[in-house]
Structures are given as C-alpha cells and as structure tokens.
Chains A and B, each alone.
Chain A
C-alpha cells in the first residue's frame, strides 16, 4: 500500500530571483532587521546588553589578566582582614583577607556560568517537553500536564533543598539540578503556544497538504513560538542566578574554596553590623544590575517579537 503522503513531491518551479535593485532598504526590510531596529530603539535595553556584556567580559578576563589570590587561605596570612578600601585593594578585603574586587569577578564566573548554562538546559528541556505535550494531545498531553501541575505545586526552593541534600553538591551537579528542574513553567508556556499554533489555519493547511508532524513543528510551530522561547529563556537565566544565590545563602551553594555571588553576599551580610560596607554593597549593586538587565533584555525581546509593533 502506498501512502500518498510518502510520494516524491514534485518540486515547484523556482521563482525567478527578484531584481537586485528592488531589495533596497526602504522597500523590503527583512523581519530580523525590523526586529533589531525595535530592539535598538529601546535605549535602556541596549544599555542592559552593554552592561551585561561588560560584566561577563570582566568576570572572565580580569581573573586571567590580573590574577588575585582567591582560593589559597594560607597565602592570606599576615594580610589585613576586613581592610577598608585603599589604593592596594580598591574594594578592601573580605573577612578571609581576599581582595574583594577580584573576588567579585571570581565569584561572578561561577554565578554567570551557572545561570547561563542552567538557563540553556531549562529552555531546551522545556521546549522539547512542551512541544511533545502540545502535539501529542489526548491522554498523553493530560498526563504530561498533570505531572507539571504536581511539580509546580511544590514550592521550588523546598524541592531544590531536598534535591541538593540527596545528591552531590559539586558545581556540575548544581547546574544540572537547577537546569533540569526549572523548566516546568516554561514547558507549560511552550505547550500553550504549540497547541495554539497547531490549530491555526496555516498549520491546518499544511496538514491538509500532507505535511508530517515533524515538518509542521519545524517550519510553523517553532518559528512562531520563538518569541516566547527566547523571552522565557532570558527570564530563566535570571531565575537560575537568583536561586543559586538563595542556595548560597543557605550554605548549599558552590562549595569552598570556590565561591559564587550568593555565598559572597551571605558572607558580606554577616559583616553588616560591623559597618564593613565594602563587603556587601558593591557586590549587591553589581548583582542587582545584572539581574535587572537580564530581565530588561527579556522584556525588550518580547516587545521586538510583538508583531503589532513591526513597521510602525
């Protein structure tokens, strides 16, 4: 039995290339360039991107270019502890005698890497799960979504603490634990998108013309839900950084001698009564600005994927 949909498709006649003179900027503006224009119109979003880029660059370059001792406790012997900012230590030293400014960059390496990797895992898993659920439909969809309901009904930090108590506390495990557990909300959003787009006229037309499910996902559903995927991914990165810092506060974050921003903030907060402001406020400022700019970029991305704002 031959399946009609399995036939070799007759390749349509290639339309002639449009004359190059037509594709000037004011006549055919590619979608991505319009979107880029909307994004660059948003000055605060551009500032956020620049700030985030500079912070990431600093966190990864400064410890290489200007290494400061951040791990060897023995080498700090004789150095001043909790020293106020001076020419030698621009942001003073912390309660172990480590240079505070260098430590901000050093801890940032871990926080930012973890945030971005966990955010990436989150979005890959969430998108896959959401697409499968939205496309499978029926009892599979119901079961998959009830499972998400169950996950979401446990406040996240409780689950995180339980998981970390049970599993290993190494950095790689932390990334995996956060990455593989933060995607539930994302999966639900993507599933909603998949369900919506699957039932739109162009998807139905493609189905009627014999397109297979995979083709519809690849050519119709994925490109049209990319706005939500990108936005949700951005917020996931910010959430991952925040949850890691909460774990750092509870002493469950990245283990010594490595450190991350959450652990550093926790160490700084215990010095707050002594008036050692340099151990907390500069880092707090950087931390808040990083998370604010990630969230702001997410907002701006959502705006620039908003079709109604195109070609205004």
Chain B
C-alpha cells in the first residue's frame, strides 16, 4: 500500500510540473508578448520607456528558461507564487483570503453529492425501467443540459425573489464557517452546486451499479437465498464502491469549475470570482497562481480517490505493493 501511494504521489508531482510549464508558457503567446499586461497596469498610453522599466522590474528581461527556473524554484521551495501585477500584494496574499471559502463550498457540496448520488444510483439500478428511474434520469438529463448559471437563476427566482425569500447572496466578509452557524445565505449556492454535480454523476452511478448487478456473484448470492436487500448492500454495493470512489475523485475538476460559475452568480467571494477578475485585468501571476492551486486540488482529489480505492479494494493494494 505504501509503495502504491508513493508511486502515485511521484506521478502526480510530474503532472504538476507539466501543468506549471504549460501555464507558465501561456503568457508568451499574448498578442504583445509577456509585456502585454504593462498596458493594463500603466494605461494604454504608456510610453515604451515606461513599459521597458516595468518589464525589467518584473524580471522580463531574462530569458524564458531563466524565468521558468526562478518561477519553479520559488513555487516549489519557497511556496512563493510571485507578486500580483495589479494589486500591491503577493499572489498568495490575495488567494489565501478566498481559498477556504471555495474549498468549503466545494467540500460541503461534494459531501452532499455523495449522500444523494450513491443511494440514487442504487435505487435507479435496483428499480430500473420503472417510473422512478425514468423520472430521475429525465431530471438529471435536463439539469445536465442546462447552463449552470441558468439553474442558479431559476433557483433564485423560485426561492429568493419569490417563495421563502432566502438571501440571494451569502454574507460577505465572514469566515466560511458561517455556513454552519447561519446557513441561510449559503443554502442556494450549495444546493445549486450539489444539483449540478449529482446530475453529472447520476448517469454513471446507475451504470456502475447496474454493471455489478448482472455479475455472476450477485446471481449466486440470490440463488443461495440472500434477501434482496442483503444482496444489494452486502454483495453489489461493496463491489460498486470502487468505481464510485473513482467517479467522485474525477468529478473534482467539474466541481471546481461549477463553483466558478456559481460564485459569479451568487457573488460568493471565492477563487472563481477572483480568477475572472484577474483574467480580465491580465494579472498573469494571480491567474497562474490560482490555476496552479486548482490543479493541485484536483490532483490531490485524484490521489485521495486512488488511496481510498486501494483501501476498499485489496487487489489494487497488493498489486501496488508488488510493483
């Protein structure tokens, strides 16, 4: 198990290096090269002299490789993501304000998704081709086909502008912990994100459980006289758990991407809003920092899913130890 985890961590590390190389190289493709942000910082009428000074201040007179080496060593050994072009602050200073809020939003939604999607998948597979199954599939299909901001607006229309008049935006400037102490403002964003990720997952969930239900060992369990509930939970569910965990792990990029739109709709100050804001201002270090952080979160999620998979599935655990 330990060797397996170590190998996965090394793999994730290499993927992270590639991500860093890719995101670092992107600004070189701007229309005016890496100096393009100078015009958004200094104004469109900046003289070439001022631009040159600004570029020198930000180390742009060094070669590509020099700059990447500095960037990579600063990030990896000093956890220093650089300084924002636009704000008078380090990138980490900007991000650290918003990271907990986004992580809490995503984590609570992921927990709720797990609680809803797994029983739903089992229900749909066990009662397949019934009215309940068709309804769930239909709702998921429509939710999946809907732009996420439209779902948010419909929720706002139904529960905030009319009906129970929930707050249309979570309170600003409070810790994300407020989600548990005064949850009213957080209900709609969390509900929207949960609905989106349940819709995205439920089709695969049903298929996963269904695939297990047609296996020989399930038939054997039924044949030896197992009650249908015992068959479902003791034999089928245990075996479906592996693919389900992988699905949940792989859903993290979609979850964080959905969080970006939802943060914009509900004005939930998090990483997503900050990305849009920084991208519009060509604040390259902030965008790179957030992208890198989000990639790390994704890789971490995949890693945890792999480890959890190893824990529930002894075959993978043993294979990993041998290799």
Listed in ascending order, the chain A residues whose CB lies under 8 Å from chain B are 146-147, 149-159, 161-168, 238, 242, 245-246, 249-250, 262, 265-266, 269, 272-273, 280, 284, 287-288, 291-292, 295-296
A162 touching B19 in the complex, CB below 8 Å, given contacts A272-B161, A292-B142, A295-B144: no
Instruction: Tell me if A154 and B29 are in contact (CB < 8 A).
Output: no
Q: Report the minimal beta-carbon distance from B56 to chain A, rounded to whole angstroms.
A: 22
Q: Are A157 and B257 in contact (CB under 8 A)?
A: yes
Are the CB atoms of A150 and B15 closer together than 8 Å? yes
B318 adjacent to chain A (CB < 8 Å): no
- Which residues of chain A come closer than 8 Å to B261, judged between CB atoms? 157, 246, 249-250
Min C-beta distance of A2 to chain B, whole Å:
44
Which of chain A's residues have a CB closer than 8 A to the CB of B161?
Answer: 272-273
CB-nearest residue of chain B relative to A165?
B279
Q: Knowing A158-B294, A166-B26 touch, does A292 contact B141 (C-beta < 8 A)?
A: yes
Chain B positions within 8 Å of A158 at CB level: 256-257, 260, 275, 290-291, 294
B contacts with A, residue count (CB < 8 A): 47
By beta carbon, the residue of chain A nearest B292 is A154
A159 near B291 (CB under 8 angstroms)? Answer: yes
- A155 near B26 with CB under 8 A, answer no
Within 8 A of A (CB), among B115-155: 141-142, 144-150, 153
Q: What are 21 inter-chain pairs, A to B, with CB distance below 8 A?
A: A152-B253, A153-B298, A153-B302, A154-B294, A156-B253, A157-B260, A158-B275, A161-B275, A162-B26, A164-B279, A166-B30, A246-B148, A249-B147, A250-B276, A265-B147, A269-B149, A272-B157, A287-B146, A295-B141, A295-B145, A296-B141
Q: How far is the CA of A147 from the CA of B261 in the complex (A)?
A: 26
Q: Looking at A147, A152, A154, A266, which has the most chain B CB atoms within 10 Å of its CB?
A: A154
Q: Is the CB of B279 within 8 A of A155?
A: no
List 6 tightest A-B contacts by C-beta distance, closest first.
A291-B145, A165-B279, A150-B18, A155-B257, A155-B253, A157-B257
Nearest neighbor of A284 in chain B, beta-carbon distance? B150
Choose from B147, B290, B298 the contact partner of A262 (Cβ within 8 Å). B147
- B149:A238 contact, CB within 8 angstroms: no
**Distance, CA A291 to CA B199, complexed state (A):** 14
Cα A273 to Cα B165 with chains together (Å): 13
With most chain A CB atoms within 10 A of its CB, the pick from B31, B150, B153, B275 is B150
Identify which of B18, B22, B153 contacts A269 (C-beta below 8 A). B153
> How many A-B contacts at CB < 8 Å in the complex?
124
| B156 partner residues in chain A, CB cutoff 8 A | 272
Specify the chain B residue showing the minimal Cβ separation from A281.
Answer: B154
Q: Which residue on chain B has the smallest CB distance to residue A242?
A: B147
**A154 B18 Cβ-Cβ under 8 A:** no
Q: Is the CB of A154 within 8 A of B19?
A: yes
Q: Which residue of B lies closest to A250 (CB)?
A: B276
Contact with A along B249-290 (1 / 0, CB 8 A): 000011011001100100000000001100110100001001
Residue-wise interface mask of B (4-18) relative to A, using a CB-CB cutoff of 8 A (1 in contact, 0 not): 000000010011101
B27-A166 in contact (CB<8A): yes
Set of chain B residues within 8 Å of A291, measured between Cβ atoms: 145-146
B236 within 8 A of A: no
Residue contact B153 to A288, C-beta cutoff 8 Å: no
B309 proximal to A (CB < 8 A): no
Closest-CB distance, A306 to chain B (whole angstroms): 13
User: In the complex, what residues of A have CB within 8 A of residue B31's CB?
Assistant: 167-168
Contact among A154, A249, A262, A288 with B253 in the assembled complex (CB-CB below 8 Å): A154
Say yes or no: B15 contacts A161, CB within 8 Å: no
Is residue B108 contacting chain A, with contact meaning CB distance below 8 A? Answer: no
Q: Is B299 an interface residue (CB 8 A)?
A: yes
Tell me whether A146 and B147 are in contact (CB under 8 A). no
Within 8 A of A (CB), among B26-83: 26-27, 29-31, 36
B270 to chain A, nearest CB (A): 12
Given A152-B253, A162-B291 in contact, is the A272-B153 Cβ separation under 8 Å? yes
The residues of A that contact B299 with a CB separation of less than 8 Å are 153
Interface flag for B295 (CB, 8 Å):
yes
Residues of A within 8 Å of B23, CB to CB, are 154, 162
Known: A156-B257, A262-B147, A272-B157. 6 other contacts (CB 8 A): A153-B299, A154-B298, A155-B260, A157-B261, A161-B275, A242-B147
Most B CB contacts (10 A, CB to CB) among A162, A165, A168 go to: A165
* Distance of A253 from chain B, by nearest CB (Å): 11
A273 contact set on B, CB distance < 8 A: 161
Bound Cα distance from A166 to B37, whole angstroms: 10
Partner of A265, one of B36, B149, B276, B291: B149
Indicate if the CB atoms of A155 and B149 lie closer than 8 Å: no
**Structural contact, B145 and A155, CB atoms closer than 8 A:** no
Q: A167-B29, A272-B156 are in contact. Are A155 and B144 (CB under 8 A)?
A: no
CB nearest to A168 among chain B residues? B31
Q: Whose C-beta in chain B lies nearest to the C-beta of A244?
A: B147
Contact assessment for B145 and A249 in the assembled complex, using a CB-CB cutoff below 8 Å: no
In the assembled complex, how far is the CB of residue B170 from the closest CB belonging to chain A, in whole angstroms? 19
